[in-house]
Chains A and B, each alone.
Chain A
Amino acid sequence: MDIVIPSISFSAIMPELVLLAVGILILLLDVFSEKHSGKLAYIAVGGVATALFFAMTPITDPSTTFAGLYSADRFTQFFKVIFLIGTGLTLLISEKYAKENNINHGEYYSLILFATVGMMFMAGGADLITIFMGVELMSICLYILAGYTRARMASNEASMKYFLLGAFASGFLLYGMGLIYGITGQTKLVKIAGAISANSDNMMVLVIGAGLMIVGFAFKLAAVPFHQWTPDVYQGAPIPVTAFMSSGPKAAALAAILRVLVEAMNFIQVDWIMWVSVLAIMTMTVGNIAALVQSDIKRMLAFSSISHAGYALVGVSAATSDGVSAVMFYMLVYTFMNIAAFGILALVAKANEQNTSIDAFKGLFRTNPVLAAVMTIMLFSLAGIPPMGGFMAKFYIFMSAVNAGHLGLVLVAVINSAIGAYYYIKVIVAIYFQENPEKPEPVKAGPSLVFALLVSVIAVFVLGLMPDCYLTIAGKALLPF
């Protein structure tokens, strides 16, 4: 019996291996020595930094490894950097929260790291099976993390809801993959494209398969009309987990959508551009209008994250290399501003998330002027006001869509970002111009949160003022354009 071992390049999956090793190390440390429990978050951050170092090692020629199941290219790398930044910031804002809410366990940090590994396989998968395994690894970790603060009923509810609907979505995804495999006989993305170009009978089944896969990914992305779980889950989950869920997994879902649609489904481009445009319009509109009426900041940020997924989908529907790099840039900026906003919320809401409503922010300027300024910067950036990064990110998305000829879509997007500005500015008004009758004590940020906010502020300005160099990196990233 001859067994041929395929070429395996461990350097391509080095960041994943590092995160796995650190995750298991943290689990063991937590079991064998009590005295390290205060340092677990920092060990995890160290692991993320190491992984970031490996993820940034430039790749000269894109290739696939593990028998063509994993692609080591700039696209994968760029998304890996986004995930690692998101994970690192989440761990930093978790540190104080975890201690205050009695969830400072090794398992908590390990699960965050394992979820990140799942995202990386989603972005790097060159095969439907790898992508699906990545989706499942990420999702299972997130189901558990959403229910991690078990003392709170809302957290239990979030976990259950997310699990049931997430499993349902995985079913859609798998059914779509099954149909495509049934018709083409291939699971590798490039070979699927080859099989379709060689033989384009059975187009109908391919279209249905691609549609079902988009439904599956749209669930993970929380795009309307597959967003029903999002507000309750994001509100119920612990705040750092919500910050994590609303940045990394969204970027991962976008990466997987882009890879599948662009690498494998270019032959039915007309169909999927239409679907993605419809999804984008509904996602932006519903997300923004629902966010308008929220008085709870956590829920408002949940709806705002839905609308941001909509803007990113505008870039996907452009279906050009500009569009792809704009989406990647958008997710990079979004990761910083979103997690920073949630980090401040976690601090202001105090232990056990006593108060996540807008009242908690009233008069913040008087008690914590610096924190108020940082929150203002993040909200302005989320609203897309120059010179913050959020503006440039939206600008590139809209420009790529205009160049691709989707004028109507961009019009809807622009109107939506004007609506969006209202509810962000509502919070800023509360911070600066409203008095809190309870006269609260100033909140104290720990060193890790200060560091996370500092990095985010710098990044938001740097990305806003000098977006070119990041865009060129992103622009060279993909794929068969």
Chain B
Amino acid sequence: MQLLMFYLIGFFAVLSAVSMIVVRKPLNSALFLILNMICLAGLFALLNAHLIAVLQIIVYAGAIMVLVLFVIMVLNLREKDGDITVRKVAAQFVGIIVVSVVMVMVGASVDPSAISALGSASPEFGTVVGVGKTLFTDYILPFEIVSVLLLAAIIGAVILSKSKV
């Protein structure tokens, strides 16, 4: 059952990711991105990471994507055909080759037995309690660095968007 769910959600995740790149209108891209993020939330939930799954939907599929949609509407982008140059085609070609080589190499060479030998996670793993506990004890340092990072990002947003400095 779990495996079936994984394949189903995984299929839609990949499908929405590809469509997001392929479709022409930015608005449609954004909508596909929301679908992709919801699928990812499903995958997280399957991996027992409940908190991350909920956050993924609230923060990414909810708050951030609303912002993205607003920006797209405000900017009023027009559909425009990009020039297809040799360089662009070559770049896409190389990109596809590199990604598929990496994927095939990773996929073919992973030995599942070695990974299952790492042992299973504790029952608390991924729950709100578990994440909170880890975040505020073992990972307190990165957690605090993130707060500085957000401060820097806020300062940056203010500076770059002020009309007159």
A interface residue numbers (CB < 8 A to B): 1, 3-6, 8, 13, 20, 24, 27, 66-67, 69-70, 102-103, 105, 107, 110-111, 114-115, 117-118, 121, 127, 129-130, 133-134, 136-137, 140-141, 143-144, 147-148, 150, 159, 179, 182-185, 199, 201-205, 208, 212
Write out the residue numbers on chain A whose beta carbons fall within 8 Å of the beta carbon of B129.
1
B142 touches A183 (CB 8 A): no
Write out the residue numbers on chain B whose beta carbons fall within 8 Å of the beta carbon of A182.
115
Least CB distance from B75 to A in Å reads: 15
Write out the residue numbers on chain A whose beta carbons fall within 8 Å of the beta carbon of B84.
none
Q: Which residue of B lies closest to A129 (CB)?
A: B142
In the complex, the number of residue pairs spanning A and B with C-beta atoms less than 8 Å apart equals 111
B3 within 8 A of A: no
Given A67-B137, A205-B106, A140-B156 contact (CB < 8 Å): yes
Write out the residue numbers on chain B whose beta carbons fall within 8 Å of the beta carbon of A3.
133, 136-137
How many residues in B have their beta carbons less than 8 Å from beta carbons of A? Answer: 35
B153 touches A183 (CB 8 A): no
Q: What's the Cα separation between A473 and B78 when bound, in Å? A: 60
B149 touches A136 (CB 8 A): yes
B4 within 8 A of A: no
Q: What's the Cα separation between A185 and B121 when bound, in Å? A: 10
Q: Which of B114, B138, B160 contacts A144 (CB 8 A)?
A: B160
Least CB distance from B123 to A in Å reads: 13
Given A6-B138, A69-B139, A20-B165 contact (CB < 8 Å): no
A129 touches B139 (CB 8 A): yes
A201 touches B114 (CB 8 A): yes
State the main secondary structure of chain A at its contact with B. Answer: helix
Write out the residue numbers on chain B whose beta carbons fall within 8 Å of the beta carbon of A1.
129, 133
Write out the residue numbers on chain A whose beta carbons fall within 8 Å of the beta carbon of B159.
105, 107, 144, 148
B106 touches A208 (CB 8 A): yes
Least CB distance from B41 to A in Å reads: 18
Write out the residue numbers on chain B whose beta carbons fall within 8 Å of the beta carbon of A110.
155
Write out the residue numbers on chain A whose beta carbons fall within 8 Å of the beta carbon of B149.
118, 133, 136-137, 140
Given A103-B165, A141-B152, A159-B160, A202-B139 contact (CB < 8 Å): no
A4 touches B148 (CB 8 A): no
Chain B 145-165, CB-CB to A under 8 Å as 1, else 0, gives 110110111011011100001
Write out the residue numbers on chain A whose beta carbons fall within 8 Å of the beta carbon of B139.
67, 69, 129
A202 touches B153 (CB 8 A): no
